[in-house]
């Protein structure tokens, strides 16, 4: 390690502050803010801790453009039950989180109205898109993708985090920002016991915090930095979300004895962003997601054809936004193409081969001028301007004189097509209908729970978990923190700043990424995965025990990388546990090639018991009855 850099904040290593709350929310992204707001509305003392700055933290910090999973809106033609079950059964082999999806499907319209009441723009109040096929004239809501069934709403999502932040402040939620949660505290310091709070360290001063709470809600999203690491080339990027989402929540829940599932599904897909080097998704011309249903032309202006879910050609632009004959509805996020079939209209799947045969000439371009006026304005302006992945692109291109009425925009990567959407589904915490984990006092929401995906999912489950946690807190005993557990965590946290000689977090993170790429990649065997587990164990014993940090920021990064290592181990254990290939989970075992055999049609769950990995299972339909369970638990 080189000399210490000058640090501009007061250093307070070792100083300790104790904070009490009824409900403690860990992570202040979409799910966390909504959990805090719901609990605060019940008049409880709520503390929210975020590693970053809540106003713009988390995956939605820079904006989002789609409010998906909203079949309960007045213009929708499908029911929440249809929305929940049909795509999971048809396009995902049954491997979906039905509880959370149904909560989202039932509640997300109410949640959107709450956001509107808080001040976020959700409809076309200026009548900019009056008469557009995707506008509902009565409500002025603008829809995306499936214009016939209308369950996904285009929104002005750059305003979402500031709106939630202001509402938290208004309701008196106590915010602890730039504060990294490092561990969960359990009754008697025991693994598997009731959660009674958490520890944290300030990322500017290094001060230590002990949060004591009757109930906690874990909302730290998913591990994002496991398979890719290249700060010098592309910056600190993950697969999709911000680098702060390093998997700390998964790691601390694991250490506390919480149960996780679908972790073998947490595969890299395309490493770190759509090009594999962490480029911004949809930042060039595209036909996918934010850019749907934009036409793509080749270098000679020849249009690339589209096909429907049955592989049949789609002749008109308008038909790209309607279900195929015989298809009830389509949904990007639920029918993302696992198993090789896309529910969503997309470019011909054999485009690459047809380019090679000379049928189309590279490069390709997004043909905005060829789109109908309303579609063009909705894509370049509303969507590209609101989506966090693309708003700087909108700003830069507009400032540089790009005119969507006249100019084509080059496509630097073939649209991943809906199967590429698979990457956004991860493993996470197991939960019941209260979104309570197997640990008393611990609730979870957003991408912290297994198969969590999307903004409306995060907000709806955050709201639900916050309410259930508040109800638990109202009847729970006073939490008692175990001082030995606190002392031991405090000692662990500060070790890297006490060393002056060793490796830094970057070196360790790139080593972990290499192990994950080589031994836990697309195709796995028992031998490969075991080598991966052994390698991570050796790294933990050797390199990780020499980690150094020169200031509180590096301390944060160092602690993150230790959590990344833990997440790698969980994924490897899960991959060892599932002894069958499974295309729905993008999980290929060369030594167990049979795809999804009947005896493996189940969730594989894992947790630590007395620090030993315990593998168990849950039936895929452990959710029981939808309507009855939802209503019983909504209380």
Ligand X SMILES: Cc1cc2nc3c(=O)[nH]c(=O)nc-3n(C[C@H](O)[C@H](O)[C@H](O)COP(=O)(O)OP(=O)(O)OC[C@H]3O[C@@H](n4cnc5c(N)ncnc54)[C@H](O)[C@@H]3O)c2cc1C
Residues making contact with ligand X (CB under 6 A) = 27-32, 49-52, 57-60, 62, 64-66, 68, 180-181, 219-221, 240-241, 244-245, 248, 387-389, 446-448, 453-456, 458
Which residue, 282 or 306, has its beta carbon nearer to ligand X?
282
Element (H, E) at 519: helix 505-519
Which residue, 346 or 567, has its beta carbon nearer to ligand X?
567
Query: Can you tell me the distance from the alpha carbon of 591 to that of 613, in angstroms, rounded to the nearest whole number?
Result: 22
Query: Can you tell me the distance from the alpha carbon of 409 to that of 386, in angstroms, rounded to the nearest whole number?
Result: 18
| Smallest distance, ligand X to C-beta of residue 66, A | 4
Q: Are 436 and 178 in contact (CB under 8 A)?
A: no
Upper half-sphere CA count for residue 303 (Cβ side, 13 Å): 16
Which residue, 70 or 351, has its beta carbon nearer to ligand X?
70
Which residue, 289 or 314, has its beta carbon nearer to ligand X?
289
Burial 99-111 (b: 16+ CB within 10 A, else e): bbbbbbbbbbbeb
| Smallest distance, ligand X to C-beta of residue 301, A | 30
The 10 Å Cβ neighbour count of residue 439 is 25
Q: Are 624 and 630 in contact (CB under 8 A)?
A: no
Q: Identify each DSSP E strand in 428-522 by its residue range.
A: 428-429, 442-444
Query: Can you tell me the distance from the alpha carbon of 394 to that of 387, in angstroms, rounded to the nearest whole number?
Result: 10
Length of the chain: 635
| Smallest distance, ligand X to C-beta of residue 238, A | 9
| Smallest distance, ligand X to C-beta of residue 67, A | 7
Ramachandran assignment for 522, one of left (phi > 0), alpha (psi -120 to 50 degrees), beta (any other): alpha
Which residue, 446 or 496, has its beta carbon nearer to ligand X?
446
| Smallest distance, ligand X to C-beta of residue 600, A | 28
The alpha carbon of 422 is separated from its chain's Cα centroid by a whole number of angstroms, namely: 12
Which residue, 58 or 385, has its beta carbon nearer to ligand X?
58
Residue among 313, 296, 295, 302 nearest 360 (CA)? 302
| Smallest distance, ligand X to C-beta of residue 292, A | 11
Residue among 150, 163, 148, 132 nearest 63 (CA)? 163
Which residue, 247 or 404, has its beta carbon nearer to ligand X?
247
| Smallest distance, ligand X to C-beta of residue 168, A | 12
Which residue, 160 or 533, has its beta carbon nearer to ligand X?
160
Residue among 76, 83, 80 nearest 136 (CA)? 76
Torsion of CA 593, 594, 598, 603, to 10 degrees: 30
| Smallest distance, ligand X to C-beta of residue 92, A | 17
Which residue, 93 or 241, has its beta carbon nearer to ligand X?
241
Which residue, 59 or 368, has its beta carbon nearer to ligand X?
59
What are the tokens at 624?
């029981």
Query: Can you tell me the distance from the alpha carbon of 158 to that of 162, in angstroms, rounded to the nearest whole number?
Result: 8
| Smallest distance, ligand X to C-beta of residue 68, A | 5
| Smallest distance, ligand X to C-beta of residue 252, A | 8
Q: Are 33 and 165 in contact (CB under 8 A)?
A: yes
Which residue, 25 or 371, has its beta carbon nearer to ligand X?
25
Query: Can you tell me the distance from the alpha carbon of 185 to that of 182, in angstroms, rounded to the nearest whole number?
Result: 10
Query: Can you tell me the distance from the alpha carbon of 100 to that of 463, in angstroms, rounded to the nearest whole number?
Result: 12
Closest residue to ligand X: CB criterion: 29
Query: Can you tell me the distance from the alpha carbon of 363 to that of 413, in angstroms, rounded to the nearest whole number?
Result: 10
| Smallest distance, ligand X to C-beta of residue 115, A | 13
Q: Are 262 and 603 in contact (CB under 8 A)?
A: yes
Which residue, 147 or 211, has its beta carbon nearer to ligand X?
211
| Smallest distance, ligand X to C-beta of residue 623, A | 20
Query: Can you tell me the distance from the alpha carbon of 625 to that of 494, in angstroms, rounded to the nearest whole number?
Result: 48
């Amino acid at each position: 390690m080189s000399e210490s850099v000058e640090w501009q904040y007061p250093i307070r290593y070792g100083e300790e502050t104790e904070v009490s709350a009824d409900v403690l929310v860990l992570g202040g992204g979409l799910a966390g803010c909504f959990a805090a707001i719901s609990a605060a509305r019940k008049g409880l003392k709520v503390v929210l801790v975020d590693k970053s700055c809540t106003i713009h933290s988390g995956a939605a910090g820079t904006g989002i453009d789609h409010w998906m999973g909203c079949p309960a809106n007045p213009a929708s033609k499908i029911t929440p039950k249809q929305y929940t079950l049909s795509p999971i059964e048809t396009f995902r082999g049954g491997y979906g989180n039905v509880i959370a999806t149904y909560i989202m499907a039932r509640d997300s319209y109410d949640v959107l109205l709450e956001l509107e009441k808080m001040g976020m723009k959700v409809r076309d109040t200026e009548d900019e898109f009056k008469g557009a096929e995707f506008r509902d004239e009565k409500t002025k809501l603008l829809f995306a993708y499936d214009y016939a069934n209308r369950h996904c709403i285009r929104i002005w999502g750059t305003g979402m985090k500031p709106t939630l932040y202001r509402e938290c402040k208004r309701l008196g939620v106590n915010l602890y920002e730039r504060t990294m949660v490092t561990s969960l505290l359990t009754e008697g310091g025991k693994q598997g016991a009731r959660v009674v709070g958490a520890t944290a360290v300030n990322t500017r001063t290094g001060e230590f915090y002990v949060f004591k709470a009757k109930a906690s809600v874990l909302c730290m999203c998913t591990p994002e930095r496991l398979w890719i690491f290249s700060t010098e080339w592309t910056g600190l990027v993950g697969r999709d979300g911000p680098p702060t989402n390093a998997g700390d929540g998964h790691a601390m829940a694991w250490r506390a004895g919480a149960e996780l599932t679908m972790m073998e599904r947490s595969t890299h897909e395309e490493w770190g962003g759509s090009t594999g080097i962490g480029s911004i998704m949809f930042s060039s011309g595209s036909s996918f997601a934010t850019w749907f249903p934009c036409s793509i032309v080749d270098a000679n202006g020849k249009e690339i054809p589209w096909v429907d879910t049955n592989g049949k050609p789609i002749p008109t632009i308008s038909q790209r936004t309607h279900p195929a004959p015989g298809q009830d509805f389509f949904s990007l996020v639920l029918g993302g193409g696992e198993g090789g079939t896309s529910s969503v209209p997309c470019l011909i799947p054999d485009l690459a081969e047809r380019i090679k045969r000379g049928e189309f000439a590279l490069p390709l371009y997004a043909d905005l001028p060829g789109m109908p006026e309303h579609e063009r304005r909705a894509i370049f302006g509303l969507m590209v301007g609101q989506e966090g992945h693309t708003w700087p692109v909108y700003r830069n291109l507009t400032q540089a004189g790009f005119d969507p009425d006249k100019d084509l925009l080059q496509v630097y990567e073939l649209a991943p097509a809906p199967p590429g959407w698979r990457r956004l589904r991860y493993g996470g915490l197991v939960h019941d209908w209260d979104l309570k984990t197997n640990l008393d006092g611990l609730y979870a929401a957003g991408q912290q729970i297994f198969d969590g995906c999307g903004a409306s999912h995060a907000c709806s489950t955050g709201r639900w978990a916050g309410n259930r946690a508040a109800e638990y807190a109202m009847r729970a005993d006073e939490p008692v923190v175990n001082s030995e557990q606190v002392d031991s965590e405090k000692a662990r946290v500060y070790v890297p700043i006490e060393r002056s000689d060793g490796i830094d977090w970057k070196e360790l993170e790139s080593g972990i990424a290499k192990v994950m790429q080589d031994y836990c990649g697309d195709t796995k065997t028992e031998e490969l995965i075991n080598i991966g587990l052994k390698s991570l164990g050796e790294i933990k014993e050797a390199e990780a025990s020499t980690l150094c940090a020169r200031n509180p920021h590096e301390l944060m990064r160092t602690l993150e990388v230790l959590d990344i290592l833990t997440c790698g181990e969980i994924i490897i254990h899960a991959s060892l546990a599932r002894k069958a290939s499974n295309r729905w989970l993008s999980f290929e075992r060369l030594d167990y090639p049979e795809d999804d055999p009947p005896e493996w049609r189940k969730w594989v769950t894992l947790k630590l018991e007395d620090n030993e990995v315990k593998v168990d299972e849950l039936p895929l339909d452990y959710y029981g009855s939808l309507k009855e369970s939802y209503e019983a638990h909504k209380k």
